[in-house]
Amino acid sequence: KWQYEIAKSNVKIAELDLKETKILAPISGYISKRYVKEGNLVEKYQSQKLFHIVKMQVLESTVNLPEQELSKLRLNQPAKLTFTAFPNEQVIAHVERISPVVDSDTGTFSVILKVENPDNKLKAGMFAQVKLVYDVHNNTKLLPKKALISMDNKHTVFTINDNKAQKTIVTLGYEDESFVEIIDGLAIDAQVVTTGQNNLKDQAVIQIIDTI
């Protein structure tokens, strides 16, 4: 009887060994790297890399931000990604995870962005320029940044009243590469000098050559 039970156990072990000769991946995806070739000996009970598999439908992007930005981040916050391979396209991502610790060596913390990639257009390992959307102000006043004169943490512009330049202090809000938000100090229909204002004096008589 015991010999019979041992024989049955040996059969089960043999069946398991046979089953494990077929390598199955735990996830579906694409093989991005092969560590073995056909005919190589693979040790069953040793940790050995065989393939590196990537799942392309959803990608993750890691962004390291300075610690002063920590208060501006929240889960599911949108971000805009631009890739060198597709310079005229923007990909929308969302904040998936925010690191609970700040790296004391660099003063930065990691943010993981979730990037949907249903058509597999993006490839793992790509570098992207990331723009995080902190907040959105609708129907706000925007001014070209080149019109600003900034000195000692004060921001001024020259407006035009009766063909005279009037120096006006303004309060700024958000900004991007080209424009700045004006929170206070400037009427919506004000004319603002955008060229040559650094050479102007308050109440100087000016002549408008061109308007934009």
Each residue's pLDDT tens digit in the chain (212 positions)?
Answer: 999 999 999 999 999 888 877 888 888 888 889 999 888 888 776 778 899 988 888 999 999 999 999 988 999 999 999 998 898 899 999 999 999 999 999 999 999 999 999 888 998 889 999 998 888 888 889 999 999 998 888 999 999 888 888 899 999 998 888 899 999 998 888 888 888 888 888 888 877 777 76
**pTM for the whole structure:** 0.59
Contacts of 44 (CB under 8 A, 6+ apart): 17, 20
Rounded to whole angstroms, the Cα distance separating 46 from 36 reads: 14
Q: How far apart are CA 83 and CA 78, in angstroms?
A: 16
Kindly report the three-state secondary structure assignment for every residue of 105-172: CCCEEEEEEEEECCCCCCCCCCCEEEEECCCCCCCCEEEEHHHCEEECCEEEEEEEECCEEEEEECEE
Q: Which residues of 154-172 are buried (b: 16+ CB within 10 A; e: fewer)?
A: ebbbbbeeeeebbebebeb
Report CA torsion sign: 55, 56, 58, 63.
Answer: positive
